[in-house]
Amino acid sequence: MNAQQRLALRAAQVLHEAFSCRAAHGRYLALPDAAWASCRRLVHLIDKAKLRGWAGAQQKLEQHLIRSDAECVDELVQVRQRLEDGHGASDVASERDIFADLLALNTEFEAVQIDIRETTIAVEMDRIVLQGIDLGPFRIVLDWSNLSHHWPYEVIAQDPNPAASSADTTHPHVRDNHLCEGDGRAAIRSALRQGRVLDFFILVRQVLESYSPDNAYVKLRDWDGRDCADCGRTVNDNDCVTCERCGTEICSDCATSCTNCSEYFCSSHIASCPSCDDPYCKRCLAACQACGGKFCKECLDDEKCPTCRGRDEDVCEYQDGPDEGDELDAVDATDANDTTDSDASFHPLRLGQAAVLA
Amino acid sequence: MKILVINNDGGGFADHVEIAEGTTVQEMFQQHVKNGRPADYLIRVNRQPVPADQVLREGDRISFTPTKIEGGWTIAAS
């Protein structure tokens, strides 16, 4: 027996103990309490995001909800399977079977590492290329001290080529190093429950080598695209604009060009001038000195908006008469005449009072 | 004679079954994978690839694993 076989034998003994221990002492029927709590929280957050019109946030939360919802269903399916089949220590593969599995891993994978101290078995896969997109090689790491956890293993990209819209998505079905097992879920869980180590790694590999566009975190056709921060749609690079103010990426439908500087901005950093209604970025709007409202420079005169200017003119006319004071030099004669015999010549506050008193 | 059959399609069936002497790998595949083509499966006997006409022996372990398994949040019917 060589060193590799001796290591595999020792690992087989430890693994058999771990799988048997889990089968014997793990909770026989575990309801999906944590996943359900997560679903409830996410539904609450989605409602909030929807109410506030945060389309991007809503879309991301819905993705998380799909995941939590699937975890609930999966755990309930496992409960049903246990009730129907019953499971005990006798279902667990023997030390001899696990030993044979560990040796066979070397014929199925590029490299295999067994680390008894770290309680892990890791296998290296070749590069994965799906629909012409090279996602790089992947490493599958099973931690047998975590067998009772929902995610006892990780799928780690070794030379990651993540989706442009999500740095955590290294494969259409892998996010945060967790594989969305999809159609492989029941078989993977069954292999893990029974200690069929070889089947477990092969099943995970086959899921990684397959692609299901309808259930992908990010579709391969959008792999190099970006998520619009405003509407949440994934768009390709050519249809993507960066907000000049905050740097978020938005699609050309959501980007608005400032009338003054012509730069593009997201919905959070563009506003309309209340006077002319044209879109301006916040830098190109200035405050009216009188009312504090933000207006474009075209609509401000002497740093005052048209409404406040009109009021000033009325006040001045009331207090000083049309022929006195420098300010009145600028007043249009027609406007002055229009307001001479009107209550509108009062200060707005007084005007309001006058209206109420009347 | 008894062999261990592992069908990793769907719910992941694994059980000891009684088979007739002289049963081949292909016959086992047809019995256990009703609507599949052998080309779409990794077929292993005692963890090794084998020809379709290989005759199974007492105590063998045969496994069928689909080559394409769709990931994502769909739950396989078990």
Domain parsing of chain B, residue ranges: 2-66
Q: Confirm or reject contact between A263 and chain B (CB < 8 A).
A: no
Contacts of A61 (CB under 8 A, 6+ apart): A42, A45, A46, A49
Of all residues in chain A, the one with the smallest CA distance to B7 is A187
Same domain for A182 and A270, yes or no, is no
Same domain for A280 and A312, yes or no, is no
Chain A residues in contact with B14 (beta carbon < 8 A) = 190, 194, 196
Q: Within a domain: residue A295?
A: no
Q: What are phi and psi of A29, to 5 degrees?
A: -125, 110
A207/B8 CB distance under 8 A: no
How far apart are the two ends of chain B, measured CA to CA in Å? 28
**Rounded CA gap, A242 and A226, in Å?**
11
Same domain for A98 and A124, yes or no, is yes
Nearest CB to B72; choose among A202, A208, A215: A215
Top CATH class, B2-66 = alpha beta
> Where does a domain end: A171, A196, A221?
A221
Same domain for A212 and A240, yes or no, is no
Of all residues in chain A, the one with the smallest CA distance to B73 is A182
Q: Confirm or reject contact between A84 and chain B (CB < 8 A).
A: no
Same domain for A125 and A213, yes or no, is yes
**Rounded CA gap, A292 and A271, in Å?**
15
pLDDT tens, position by position, A171-222: 999 999 999 988 898 899 889 989 999 999 999 999 999 999 988 888 898 8
| Parallel/antiparallel/unpaired status of strands A153-157 and A133-143 | antiparallel
Same domain for A333 and A312, yes or no, is yes
- Owning domain of residue A248: 234-285
**Do the Cβ atoms of A256 and A245 come closer than 8 Å?**
no
Same domain for A161 and A275, yes or no, is no
Same domain for A125 and A214, yes or no, is yes
Same domain for A150 and A212, yes or no, is yes
pLDDT tens, position by position, A86-136: 544 457 899 999 999 999 999 999 899 999 999 999 999 999 999 999 999
DSSP B12: -
Number of domains composing chain A: 3
Other beta carbons within 10 angstroms of residue A317's beta carbon come to 21
Of all residues in chain A, the one with the smallest CA distance to B48 is A104
- Written as one letter, the residue type at A237 is D
Contacts of A246 (CB under 8 A, 6+ apart): A266, A268, A269
Q: Confirm or reject contact between B11 and chain A (CB < 8 A).
A: yes
**Rounded CA gap, A279 and A281, in Å?**
7
Q: Within a domain: residue A343?
A: yes
Contacts of A28 (CB under 8 A, 6+ apart): A82
Same domain for A135 and A205, yes or no, is yes
Rg (CA), chain B: 13
Could you list the pLDDT tens digit for every one of the 358 residues in chain A?
Answer: 888 899 999 999 999 999 888 776 665 667 888 889 989 999 999 999 888 888 878 888 888 888 788 878 877 877 787 777 654 445 789 999 999 999 999 999 989 999 999 999 999 999 999 999 999 999 999 999 988 777 899 999 999 999 988 889 999 999 999 999 888 988 998 899 899 999 999 999 999 999 999 888 888 988 987 778 888 777 877 788 889 988 888 888 889 999 999 999 998 889 999 999 999 998 899 999 989 899 998 999 888 899 888 877 765 544 444 444 444 344 333 343 443 333 333 333 333 333 333 3
